[in-house]
Structure 1
């Protein structure tokens, strides 16, 4: 490099540093100016950058500030790709926003206990912003559709609620109405799995009559895995009854692992086999390579009218509709019926979505300087008027009882009739998801099959279940230590046993502690059954 070139490169380098410094300085000064106007600042951060969501939160900010002119609500959206790293930096550095979205990877219960505030005590009183609505006077905790019993809202390891959900979501099959009329001469919404398969076959037949290539189905990596999970949920309904020790309509991750490791089911189980078969059957109508296709790429292909169907969730509806030059409609996943000669024997019936967990949840950070105002803002966001405003602007489904989301999203409302979920192969997450990612392609190769998948995956799958089981036991042991400390601290504070709320709180803590101890001991007892 010449001396002149080196000087130029140095100048560029110093210029970039100076620009970054000026940007940071302006950013800090801007924040200082906002603080100097006398208003109290509350910041919240999320990764939901889908069209309409930021605008929906802005509408909530403006309405809340109109009611509370001494408060300034600031939204800080962070793209999902960098959110986990950004969050860790902010939490460890002691500079997080007041409210921070929960539900992504990289946040375990120890981080939750260290950086987030338990919210149970705030949820016992009615939400004042629900005055005059159908849920006026109802405790805030009881106003959420689907309840607050699961993550990312309630964390059983810590026996408390840490997330306040703002919306609900369902998975749907979008379709191009114009293209469907062109191919079929009418609008069809298949009611059964076989009807959907037949429509896909007819699209392939139609391709032979036109110059362009239309894929029956477009789906990305995550939507494909979600489709598999739903098909497997249906196909394993009866199997789950056989392996669920407490028969409570759901199976815990611990019992999932124990039932597999003790041989109650294997990858060769006919019910497991049928779920994989259904996924393999429908996946062969998707664009090749879909297991490595990004969500935005799959959506782009659909917008360009290169597929009839697009598999995604209600969270994408507004963005897809706004970008398409054609009318978009949607329908739920059509499952096999109980009369199907192959799939039918494993089913009880269609799946219900009544268990849909509300999400896009915000947690209160312990670093918040204005926790009371932050919580009050969340009360407004999750009130009937607040959640109605959010849904109408974002096009998302509500998280709150009594909210009318509007006609445009009625096809996305949860299906309330049907039977509970069974199981799917990577529901424990972690290493199991990686095993699926590495081996699902065996279902879709030219010579692929369910047997090829099982042969390739079984050894790694068993090892992954063992690993995830040990993680569960380790987390249970750690959470029991934390809970025991919490319990002893609470009892040492000389609680007022005459106060009904105090009695209920301590009763819940003791009940949860007893349940956790039982789960931990049950896991240890079963470890001896599979040689641990």
Structure 2
């Protein structure tokens, strides 16, 4: 056996690897080429339990109706998807349908126009697969619960993707643990009740000698920022909505700090952070470093009372909880009630009326199968098959009239409440300071006064502070105006040459009004000059 040395072994392993690679290539070639059939490729990053099986079930139904079509899923992990799709788009080898998001080429207007098909003319026509329902004859875009806003690009005046589902963040709770710790599996309805349950869960852990964590989160503190900051600061809108558009923007927030109408010491802001600290005191030590897999693992092992996450994790959580032997419930994030601490500082809960469809797919502009791709999207978003898809995946449906699976009903958008708040992430540079100091405060490293002082210092920093946000937004709007000029030119050509231009006059007028109103970003320059007299607009 002298001949069996490391070199020979290495060559053997290399040969085996090469043979496996060749086999994989030919296997994929067979999968993506079938004589006499149209191969429709669809890529996405949804690897959650149930999604691929649900999509495969819809694909099977579609292929029964269209035996000359073969639809192939191409799932890619979240981490690899952005780079992988960029390469596919640049090399003009992209799948026919691509899930939009996660990378610049599917989010930036310049690249979206280059690589994806505009859908305005198509979405105005009925979805043929809705025949026999009350959606028959209704324009496709009006069959979505969000009016297809999730696929519309305001700056381009066109639709570039088709949503397939919706989502929301909620608390999952372990009914069995609540019953053992509190004597009842009734979930808390207010924030004060939530803290009371958390205290009892901690005491139950001490009494039994077991580790129980009152609150877990798949995304650290991110799920709590929007609902609780809205509850505390939506009432400030009449004072700090300086451009009178009905919402508080990041620039409004900065202007509020500059004018002295906002500060880190005001009761609403301090109250928000006191509540957040109370919430985090009931999370696991080191919660800021706990990732999605760790948090969910603790919960499905029966070690957590509450888990904050999105509807996309619902199916896997329910199934794993059943296997672990405990029932699970779902509640929205409770807010303080009158008579409780912070009850007089909150105005009400956040609403979800602006919830948009997610899981959007765009049609690759250079696909040889555009008509089939659009037909499959019609099929997937018809009432019958959107219901089938989302019930199987365990996600809330996006098509009007499609029924959600029972466990998904708590995730359906709640239209009551308030929809604006202040923003601490005024620009990327201030955002870094804010998130860093916020994490230190919420983990108990620094007092609130340090967080407040460091954040205020960042907002007023001459180099990277809030003033720079105006320059960054001005630069963005200038580029947007250039894009709008191209849109105006396209719509004008459609009108002049009569290129199926029924919608062109309306689009032209809408874009022109936007241009005139914003005047190449000069509205921002005027607002900045009023806010900072005599100071030049900062570079972006």
TM-score when scaled to structure 2? 0.89
Q: In the superposition, relative to structure 1, how do residues 357 and 31 fare at CA in structure 2: closer, same or farther (>3 Å)? A: same
Instruction: Tell me what 2:503 maps to.
Output: 501
- Cα distance per residue 1:53-74 (max 9 Å; x no partner): 1111111111112222222221
Q: Are 1:267 and 1:458, in contact at CA under 8 Å, matched by a contact in 2?
A: yes
2:414 pairs with 1:411: no
Q: Are 2:109 and 2:156, in contact at CA under 8 Å, matched by a contact in 1?
A: yes
Instruction: Tell me what 2:160 maps to.
Output: 162
The 2-side partners of 1:40 and 1:154 are apart by: 29
- Cα distance per residue 1:151-192 (max 9 Å; x no partner): xx2222322221211111111111111111111111222121
Deviates more, 1:356-365 or 1:486-495: 486-495
Q: 2:181 aligns with which of 172, 180, 183?
A: 183
Q: Are 1:159 and 1:512, in contact at CA under 8 Å, matched by a contact in 2?
A: no
Any idea what SS the aligned residue of 2:42 has?
strand
Q: Are 2:336 and 2:342, in contact at CA under 8 Å, matched by a contact in 1?
A: no
2:399 pairs with 1:397: no
2:182 pairs with 1:212: no
Aligned residues: 522
Any idea what SS the aligned residue of 2:32 has?
helix
Instruction: Tell me what 1:98 maps to.
Output: 96
Runs of 5+ unmatched residues, structure 1: none
Any idea what SS the aligned residue of 2:521 has?
helix
1:282-293 residue pairs with structure 2 within 5 A?
282-293=279-290
Instruction: Tell me what 2:309 maps to.
Output: 312
The 2-side partners of 1:273 and 1:14 are apart by: 65
1:331-346 residue pairs with structure 2 within 5 A?
331-337=331-337, 340=340, 342-345=342-345
The 1-side partners of 2:250 and 2:135 are apart by: 34
The 2-side partners of 1:252 and 1:378 are apart by: 35
The 1-side partners of 2:199 and 2:300 are apart by: 21
Any idea what SS the aligned residue of 1:175 has?
strand
Shift of 1:271: 2.2
Instruction: Tell me what 2:512 maps to.
Output: 510
Any idea what SS the aligned residue of 2:221 has?
helix
2:226 pairs with 1:229: yes
Q: Are 1:338 and 1:348, in contact at CA under 8 Å, matched by a contact in 2?
A: no
Q: In the superposition, relative to structure 1, how do residues 112 and 431 fare at CA in structure 2: closer, same or farther (>3 Å)? A: farther
The 2-side partners of 1:147 and 1:269 are apart by: 39
Structure with the larger RCO, 1 or 2 (CA within 8 Å, 6+ apart): 1
Q: Are 2:216 and 2:295, in contact at CA under 8 Å, matched by a contact in 1?
A: yes
Instruction: Tell me what 2:436 maps to.
Output: 438
Any idea what SS the aligned residue of 2:156 has?
coil
The 1-side partners of 2:329 and 2:299 are apart by: 13
Deviates more, 1:352-361 or 1:497-506: 497-506
Q: In the superposition, relative to structure 1, how do residues 206 and 416 fare at CA in structure 2: closer, same or farther (>3 Å)? A: same
Q: CA RMSD in A?
A: 2.7
The 1-side partners of 2:97 and 2:428 are apart by: 27
The 1-side partners of 2:16 and 2:32 are apart by: 24
The 1-side partners of 2:300 and 2:350 are apart by: 29
Shift of 1:440: 2.4
- Cα distance per residue 1:254-289 (max 9 Å; x no partner): 545555566543444432322222111111100111
- Cα distance per residue 1:418-467 (max 9 Å; x no partner): 222323423x6855554344222222344543323223344445536455
The 2-side partners of 1:393 and 1:295 are apart by: 23
Instruction: Tell me what 1:134 maps to.
Output: 134
The 1-side partners of 2:379 and 2:136 are apart by: 13
The 1-side partners of 2:249 and 2:141 are apart by: 23
Q: In the superposition, relative to structure 1, how do residues 93 and 314 fare at CA in structure 2: closer, same or farther (>3 Å)? A: same
2:452 pairs with 1:451: no
Shift of 1:511: 3.5
Deviates more, 1:363-372 or 1:491-500: 491-500
Shift of 1:146: 2.5
The 2-side partners of 1:62 and 1:74 are apart by: 11
Q: Are 2:491 and 2:505, in contact at CA under 8 Å, matched by a contact in 1?
A: no
Instruction: Tell me what 2:31 maps to.
Output: 30
Instruction: Tell me what 1:280 maps to.
Output: 277
Instruction: Tell me what 1:351 maps to.
Output: 350
The 2-side partners of 1:518 and 1:223 are apart by: 41
The 2-side partners of 1:226 and 1:510 are apart by: 38
Instruction: Tell me what 2:198 maps to.
Output: 200
Instruction: Tell me what 2:145 maps to.
Output: 145
Runs of 5+ unmatched residues, structure 2: none
The 2-side partners of 1:231 and 1:99 are apart by: 37
Q: Are 1:254 and 1:523, in contact at CA under 8 Å, matched by a contact in 2?
A: no
- Cα distance per residue 1:476-530 (max 9 Å; x no partner): 2222212212212331341559975343333333344445x35822222234334
The 2-side partners of 1:193 and 1:437 are apart by: 24
Shift of 1:42: 1.5
Shift of 1:301: 0.6
Deviates more, 1:347-356 or 1:226-235: 347-356
Instruction: Tell me what 2:38 maps to.
Output: 40
1:232-381 residue pairs with structure 2 within 5 A?
232-260=229-257, 264-324=261-321, 325=324, 326-337=326-337, 340=340, 342-345=342-345, 347-381=346-380
Instruction: Tell me what 1:74 maps to.
Output: 72
Q: In the superposition, relative to structure 1, how do residues 164 and 202 fare at CA in structure 2: closer, same or farther (>3 Å)? A: same
Shift of 1:338: 5.1
Q: Are 2:176 and 2:185, in contact at CA under 8 Å, matched by a contact in 1?
A: no
Q: In the superposition, relative to structure 1, how do residues 444 and 86 fare at CA in structure 2: closer, same or farther (>3 Å)? A: same
Any idea what SS the aligned residue of 1:393 has?
helix
